[in-house]
Structure 1
Amino acid sequence: MSITIYGIAKSRAIRNLWACEELGLAYTHVPVVYGPMGSRKPDFLAINPNGRVPAADVDGVILWESLAINLHLARKAGGPLAPESVDEEGLMTMWSMWAVTEVEAAALALLQHETVKPEAERDPAVVAKSTETLKAPLAVLEGHLASHGGHLVGNRFTIADLNVACCVFYLRFSGLLADKPAIRGWYEAAMARPAAKKAFALRGD
């Protein structure tokens, strides 16, 4: 399989780098940066006209959207991370879309206004709103993990766990997981995987 991942590791491209490492897939990493010096340059816009990273070229098929790329990689590569049936594929897609629609935006806003932005630019109202928004989905995730053996699909670590963990990653400095032992255990186990460590080392944090 020929794979090129476009995007710096300190972007959502980290999700695809982790997936390739988990799946044992060789890949070329092109660390395209954000903005006019990278993702808005004409040569990259020919790959992703949205001007965003990541993008991927998988055997000549150009894909955008980090979690969709991961679902495709897992399905194409096979193995324990991949769906074993149409039903599992549906569940993995469901959880991946759920993470984007229910968790990612609020978690990222919380990270920005609690940790990343200079204190003068942080907005307590954003923190309060994001915290409230995340209560229900985190309760859903906690309940599911607690009742399904600590995994999302198929009683094993799959691409669904990887995708959702990449969205929960934005909550790593938050206190919202303090009373969520199932999420904490699941997330810590995911991030402790050798492939995760190898991929996240590319961020240089």
Structure 2
Amino acid sequence: MLTIYGVYRSRTSRPLWLLDEIGMNFNHLPVIQAYRLPDASAADAPFNTRSEEFLVLNPLGQIPVMEDDGLVLTESLAITQHLARKYGGMLGPQNAAEEALIGQWSLTAATAVEGCALEILQTLANGGADTPEGQAQISICAEKLRRPFAVLERHLGGHEWLVGDRFTVADLNMAECIRYAQGVPALIAEFPKLQRWLLRCQDRDAFKAMMTAREAEPA
């Protein structure tokens, strides 16, 4: 059976959201990030990203990891695209062109959005909104995000979704990267079509279930 390793408070949220969309059965083995533990190597430490058995799966010591019939994948966006292609029906590509477009949007999310969006999230989490240095860093990241957000805004001016005029794994991957920047609502509001699309993504039952499970985990 398909197995997902990781916790909701990580990029594991992406395949877990997708699997809820699909409605398939799978094993979920919680693996916590080692940096969140006082001593990840202690005898009583929970299963974590430095546990020897986990490092066999991913020597980088990162989550998520997926095992599927002998195939092991260790990158969240590769995992979601594989799951959508193999099990996801209309969530996945229906032809070669859609596969290419889904890959393109997913890579755009990873290379043009996620880094700065995640930096915003981390800066806010560390109280940066209350310091001049933090505010400056958020402003720099927001400025870098305006270009890819403008690309999305133009695309969404003529399309309801990113690929094939239906919700696909491309939307899921992009929405999960943009979520990190939602702590700066004024930035998102500059792009009303993107904002409406993001709200549609996050109004889905599977997203809400994922967020509920995420919020139930220890911070």
For normalisation by structure 2, the TM-score amounts to 0.88
Structure 1: distance between partners of 2:169 and 2:53? 30
Matches within 5 A, 1:8-157: 8-35=7-34, 36=40, 38-113=48-123, 115-119=124-128, 123-148=134-159, 150-157=160-167
Q: Alpha-carbon deviation of 1:151?
A: 0.5
1-structure distance, mates of 2:62, 2:75 = 9
Counterpart in 2 of 1:7?
6
Cα distance between partner residues in 2 of 1:198 and 1:131:
29
What CA deviation, in whole Å up to 9, does each residue of 1:55-88 have, x standing for no partner? Answer: 1111221111101000000111141101000110
Aligned mates of 1:50, 1:170 — CA distance in 2: 23
Deviates most, 173-182 or 15-24: 173-182
Aligned to 2:200, which of 189, 198, 201? 189
Structure 1 spans left out of the alignment, 5+ residues: none
User: Which runs of structure 1 show a deviation greater than 6 angstroms over 4 or more consecutive aligned residues?
Assistant: none
Q: How far 1:125 sits from its partner (Å)?
A: 3.0
Structure 1, 81-90 or 126-135: larger mean CA deviation: 126-135
RMSD: 1.5
The structural deviation recorded for 1:123 is: 2.4
Counterparts of 2:121 and 2:188 in 1: how far apart (Å)? 13
Q: Which has the larger radius of gyration?
A: 2
The answer to whether the aligner puts 1:179 opposite 2:190 as a matched pair is yes
Distance 1:125 1:191 in 2: 29
